[in-house]
Amino acid sequence: MPFDGGTSTISSAGTRETLANDLVAANVVIADSRIMSITVIGDQDNTGDVFFAGPAVASGVGVRLEPGDSFSKDFDGGPTFDEFYGDADTAGDKINWAVEFAQ
């Protein structure tokens, strides 16, 4: 199974942003590939909390990650990577992520 990982910077606090932003901008095919698992980590240098979820994510809504916190979820080849979003209390905070893609 292919893996990928990266960091997504939330440029505007209170505004959801897809974690696949950089991949979509670079026309990387994996952005819309089905995934088997995802792990997200609030960057250690963040000054506030970040939030991870689907399209309904917002500051205060979703999985709350304090700096250094992590969250992992396994799937049965269901969602695509571009269905996951992040938000932050502070602009410029980051979400580190790793995904395992389905074949």
pLDDT tens digits in sequence order for the chain, 103 residues long: 678 888 999 999 999 998 886 655 444 556 567 889 999 999 999 999 999 998 888 778 899 999 999 999 999 867 888 889 999 999 999 999 998 888 6
pLDDT value at position 30?
Answer: 61
Contact criterion met (CB below 8 Å) for 101 and 36? yes
Instruction: Give, in degrees to the nearest 5, the angle at Cα 102 between 20 and 4.
Output: 45
Return the CATH number of 3-101, one of 3.80.10, 2.130.10, 2.60.120, 1.10.287: 2.60.120
- Single pTM value for the model: 0.86
